[in-house]
Amino acid sequence: MSMDMSQFTEAFLEESFEGLEHMETELLALNAGDEETLHTIFRAAHSIKGGAGTFGFSAISEFTHGMETLLDRMRNGQQETTPEIVNLLLRAVDVLRGQLQAARDGGEADPAEAAEVRALIEATLGDAAPDATPDALAPTVGGNVDGSGPENGPGDSDGTPRGWRIHFRPHADLLRTGNDPLRMFEVLEELGELTVHCDAEGLPATLEGYDPEASYLAWTLELRGDADRADIEEVFEWVEDECDLTIEPLETAGDSTGAHPPADPAPDGSGPESTPPGGEDSAAGAPARAASKPTESSSMRVNAAKIDALIDMVGELVITQSMLTDISEQMEEDPSRVEQQIERLRSGLAELERNTRELQESVMGIRMVPIAQVFNRFPRLVHDLSGQLGKQIDLQMEGELTEIDKTVLEHLGDPLVHLVRNAIDHGIEMPDERSAAGKDPTGRVTLEAYHRGGNVVIEIRDDGRGMNSDRILEKARAAGLLRPDQNPEPHEILQYIFEPGLSTADQVSDLSGRGVGMDVVKKNIRGLGGNIELHSEPGRGSRVTIRLPLTLSIMDGQLLKIHDETFVIPLIAIVESLQTEPENVKQAFGKLPLYRLRDEYIPVVDLAALFGQAEPSPMPDRALLVVAEADNQRVALRVDDLLGQQQVVIKTLETNFRRVPGTAGATILGDGQVALILDVAGIARMTSGRDTRAA
Amino acid sequence: MAKVLVVDDSSSMRQMVSFALKQAGHDVTEGRDGNDGLSKAQGLKADLVITDVNMPGKDGLELTRELRKLPDYKFTPILVLTTEAGPEKKQEGKAAGATGWLVKPFDPEKLMSTVNKVLR
């Protein structure tokens, strides 16, 4: 029988990544002498080792072996649990993660780091108990991975005896382990011609004291054929300590074997596939490379309840569909009663709409995964960083079970790492500095996620030194982002930290060094359709708020009419819609008109002109404006009409056309019309002349 | 066709073992760990139990010991999956009442040839 193992490889990898995450979490929480935690960590390593061997990843299996031995010592109290050992094991977790990633993506793990960590583990093992590096692994991996197992060639040419005589006397308890002499004889029968003589002398003479569950019989068996001794030994492998067993050749075909029965199958069965030590690498390495290479998002675990809900909904959909079919049949049969059927048709369609919406929500729900999958990496990060920097940090995580689209989640890791790292690196002060400022010497970093509206909000807070807005203003001016006469509000000043010109400028520490790469963070978040904001109070700490859409592919939109074309604007971007009052319009020559909304002047964008549908036209006395906000900038969009609101499926333009400035893609409306989706932030940039890409 | 109970906390391992057994026409019931395995075993009257050793909660050896106490499983073949080829580990399994063992790593062929030693 041959079986494609790759179908289980993916499951194995996924489970191993989970196991590693678990190991990491437990290692970070490990206290000396915490036996239960050690058991858990040990089991995780053990499972990875076993699975890796079975699914053909011998390097992973070998690497894990040392970890496992070390963990075994620790849980048995033979090895002390020290911070150094924990850090070594954490490094080993990283190596293993790299190896698993390489196995999944087909890349290559860093062999030098693996070798170094392995050597360190072995050195530790050597220190603790020089006698006991187990040798169990080598024969295990080598012997079985290549699939040759015990079925080495029988070496029929040179002197295998024509048969064997087997004396088999089970001990009384043999049956109690589920072993059955009869089944064993049946296996022997497959190896050749078998004759069985039963010796019943051991049976008690009377029934008194007779134990029906004990074994009293003995057998002498003769097996004719060219079976190997090893084949026979394998049949009795499990009972060798529960019986008296002798295996002797019946008669031999040549003198040499008579003196030396082939107890070891290797010398004469040495085909190319049966040399364990050498075959190990090549044979086990090949399936590792040949295994399927799922991409990061190709498989995911789904809660069974979600699937059940889907099935329910499909059931309802089927019912609705048959109801609609029935209506159409009735209409055909009796056209005179169409009037009555219309009402039924309407309610059927309403039902269909409800089903579709629910189904859509459920299908979206399948892609939703708890944000804990990203949050989980932070205890380790904080542990490492606080060790490196000599800072004391208490990491709080809230709302880990908040669900978010899997794709969004996958792209969220790096920006969050960056933000948390910055908070620790530059936000949190050294313990003595904190004490001097009257603060708790232990700094606090909080990660929180929650749902608000159609969004997932993630906050990264620290109670560190906060940011100096004067310095940022100075930097922003120096970078030419602001004219000397511009005096933004303190809150607006902080947002300049996300500007590329500022962030890469320099990394002076009195600017909290936070500029480094913040523009990249913002770009990533914007790429996910989200936005990012910063609040900070000197001496009290900072708060970064990230708002992300629940999903990337569907959004709530407001349909707009602009010069006979329909556009969609994300509902989340709209601040308000209004009819202009003539006295609030300020029109300056050569500049965008401004509209005064309460005490704020907002630039008005002539969308028809912007998209080249019409010549720029002066603003009429009464116009319809949609005030929208993105990136802390507001723009008022002049539109001809507000149509309905609906959910739209976002299709990218870039795939088939190219990026169009001011748009975030397109969608297909119910009537088949294509509508462009407005990118409010892009429009704001285009109109303020800061977007070079728009040119 | 036989009724086989497969107990392993690793789902990939469990899937692989189950798949191979099902391909051979056996009726497979899966247990996620020792406790789950024990509760699945009751009322099932399996013809064969294959269990991992290292599992959270109740490990494979405890499971074996408890199964042997049940009248239905007094003589039922129980195979333990172990990563250790050393005699000590094997002895532990035997002492708990296991029929035999299968050393990891193994491939489906090895699994089936081992299963066929106890299922007739």
ipTM of the complex: 0.87
- The Cα B117–Cα A393 span in angstroms is 58
Orientation angle between helical segments A406-422 and A378-389, nearest 10 degrees? 20
Which structure tokens are listed for A655?
């795939």
Q: Do B94 and A241 touch (CB under 8 A)?
A: yes
Q: Do A3 and B19 touch (CB under 8 A)?
A: yes
Q: Radius of gyration over alpha carbons of chain A, in Å?
A: 37
Q: Which residues pair with A245 in a beta bridge?
A: A168
Burial class (CB in 10 A: 0-12, 13-18, 19+), A273: middle
- The Cα B93–Cα A317 span in angstroms is 53
Global pTM value: 0.52
Going edge to edge, which strands form the sheet with B3-7?
A: B27-31, B3-7, B48-52, B78-82, B100-103
B86 contacts on A by Cβ (under 8 Å):
134, 136
Residue A581: left if φ>0, alpha if ψ -120 to 50, beta else—which one? beta
CA A438 remoteness from chain centre: 41
Q: Which residue has the higher pLDDT, B85 or A623?
A: A623
Q: Which helix (H) or strand (E) holds A520?
A: helix A518-527
Which structure tokens are listed for A636?
């008022």
Whether residue A109 contacts residue A62, with contact meaning beta carbons closer than 8 Å, is answered with no
**Which tens digit of pLDDT belongs to each residue from A351-379?**
898 888 888 878 877 888 889 888 988 99
- The Cα A284–Cα A286 span in angstroms is 6
Count Cβ atoms below 10 Å from residue A649 Cβ, excluding itself: 13
How far off is chain B from A414, nearest CA to CA, in Å? 29
Which structure tokens are listed for A315?
């059931």
Beta strands in A481-551 (DSSP E): 531-537, 541-549
- The Cα A236–Cα B99 span in angstroms is 11
- The Cα A642–Cα A558 span in angstroms is 8
- The Cα A498–Cα A519 span in angstroms is 4
Scanning every residue of chain B, which has its alpha carbon at the shortest distance from the alpha carbon of A214?
Answer: B75
Nearest CB to A179: which of B20, B91, B99?
Answer: B99
Q: Which of B15, B7, B9, B4 is nearest to B108 (CA)?
A: B15
Nearest CB to A136: which of B68, B81, B85?
Answer: B85
Q: Does B45 touch chain A (CB under 8 A)?
A: no
Q: Which helix (H) or strand (E) holds A304?
A: helix A304-333
How far off is chain A from B14, nearest CA to CA, in Å? 10
Nearest CB to B105: which of A1, A14, A141?
Answer: A141
pLDDT given at position A32 = 66
pLDDT given at position A268 = 42
Nearest CB to A8: which of B12, B85, B117?
Answer: B12
Contacts of A548 (CB under 8 A, 6+ apart): A404, A408, A412, A455, A456, A457, A458, A525, A528, A529, A530
Q: Do A15 and B83 touch (CB under 8 A)?
A: no
Q: Do A15 and B12 touch (CB under 8 A)?
A: yes
Q: Which residue has the higher pLDDT, B84 or A546?
A: A546
User: What's the Cα-to-Cα distance from A182 to each of A175, A178, A496, B35, B74, rounded to whole Å?
Assistant: 11, 12, 83, 32, 17
Q: Which helix (H) or strand (E) holds A587?
A: none
What is the DSSP code (8-state) at residue A573?
A: G
Whether residue A449 contacts residue A400, with contact meaning beta carbons closer than 8 Å, is answered with yes
Q: Do A144 and B56 touch (CB under 8 A)?
A: no
SS3 A558: strand
pLDDT given at position A634 = 87
Place of tokens 């708002």: A547
What phi, psi does B36 have (nearest 5°)? -65, -45
Cis peptide before B108 (omega within 30 of 0): no
Size of interface A-B (CB pairs under 8 A): 137
Full DSSP string of A198-243: EE-TTS-SSSTT--TTS---EEEEEEESS--HHHHHHHTGGGTTSE
CA-based end-to-end distance of chain A: 65
Long-range CB contacts (< 8 A, 24+ apart) of A667-675?
A667/A557, A667/A568, A669/A559, A669/A566, A670/A646, A673/A566, A675/A559, A675/A565, A675/A566, A675/A567, A675/A568, A675/A648
Which structure tokens are listed for A195?
């004759």
- The Cα A385–Cα A390 span in angstroms is 8
- The Cα A605–Cα A637 span in angstroms is 5
Amino acid of residue A597 = L
Q: Which of A455, A461, A462 is nearest to A402 (CA)?
A: A455
pLDDT given at position A506 = 42
Q: What fold characterizes domain B3-115?
A: Rossmann fold (3.40.50)
Nearest CB to B16: which of A8, A42, A237?
Answer: A8
Burial class (CB in 10 A: 0-12, 13-18, 19+), A225: middle
Q: Do B84 and A144 touch (CB under 8 A)?
A: no
How far off is chain A from B120, nearest CA to CA, in Å? 7
Scanning every residue of chain B, which has its alpha carbon at the shortest distance from the alpha carbon of A45?
Answer: B54
How far off is chain B from A374, nearest CA to CA, in Å? 23
B109 contacts on A by Cβ (under 8 Å):
1-2, 147, 149
Nearest CB to A46: which of B12, B15, B83?
Answer: B83
Average pLDDT over residues B71-76: 91
- The Cα A195–Cα A211 span in angstroms is 28
β-bridge pairing B78-82 and A218-224? unpaired
What phi, psi does A218 have (nearest 5°)? -135, 160
Interface of B with A in 70-109 (CB under 8 A): 74-78, 81, 83-86, 91, 94, 97-101, 103-109
- The Cα B104–Cα A144 span in angstroms is 8
CA A210 remoteness from chain centre: 61
Q: Does B20 touch chain A (CB under 8 A)?
A: yes
Whether residue A649 contacts residue A554, with contact meaning beta carbons closer than 8 Å, is answered with yes
**Best residue in B18, B26, B102, B104 to probe A by mutation, most A CBs within 10 Å?**
B104
Beta strands in A69-180 (DSSP E): 163-170
A14 contacts on B by Cβ (under 8 Å):
12
Low-confidence ranges of chain A (pLDDT < 50): 1, 129-158, 253-297, 504-516, 690-695
User: What's the Cα-to-Cα distance from B85 to each of A140, A441, B88, B89, rounded to whole Å?
Assistant: 7, 52, 8, 7
**Best residue in A57, A144, A273 to probe B by mutation, most B CBs within 10 Å?**
A144
The band of B47, judged by pLDDT with boundaries at 50, 70 and 90, is very high
Q: Do B103 and A46 touch (CB under 8 A)?
A: no
A11 contacts on B by Cβ (under 8 Å):
11-12, 15
Which structure tokens are listed for A127?
């220190």
B97 contacts on A by Cβ (under 8 Å):
176-178
Residue A319 C-beta-side C-alpha neighbours within 13 Å? 9
Q: Does B22 touch chain A (CB under 8 A)?
A: no
A1 contacts on B by Cβ (under 8 Å):
20, 23-24, 108-109, 112
Whether residue A577 contacts residue A625, with contact meaning beta carbons closer than 8 Å, is answered with yes
Residue A139 C-beta-side C-alpha neighbours within 13 Å? 9
Whether residue A93 contacts residue A112, with contact meaning beta carbons closer than 8 Å, is answered with no
Scanning every residue of chain B, which has its alpha carbon at the shortest distance from the alpha carbon of A58?
Answer: B105
SS3 A196: strand
HEC string of chain B?
CCEEEEECCCHHHHHHHHHHHHHCCCEEEEECCHHHHHHHHCCCCCCEEEEECCCCCCCHHHHHHHHHHCHHHCCCCEEEEECCCCHHHHHHHHHHCCCEEEECCCCHHHHHHHHHHHCC
Q: Do B56 and A43 touch (CB under 8 A)?
A: yes
Long-range CB contacts (< 8 A, 24+ apart) of A687-692?
A687/A592, A687/A603, A687/A605, A687/A610, A687/A635, A688/A603, A688/A633, A691/A661
Q: Do A1 and B108 touch (CB under 8 A)?
A: yes
Nearest CB to A46: which of B12, B54, B101?
Answer: B54
Scanning every residue of chain B, which has its alpha carbon at the shortest distance from the alpha carbon of A47?
Answer: B10
Q: Do B109 and A147 touch (CB under 8 A)?
A: yes
- The Cα A680–Cα A695 span in angstroms is 17
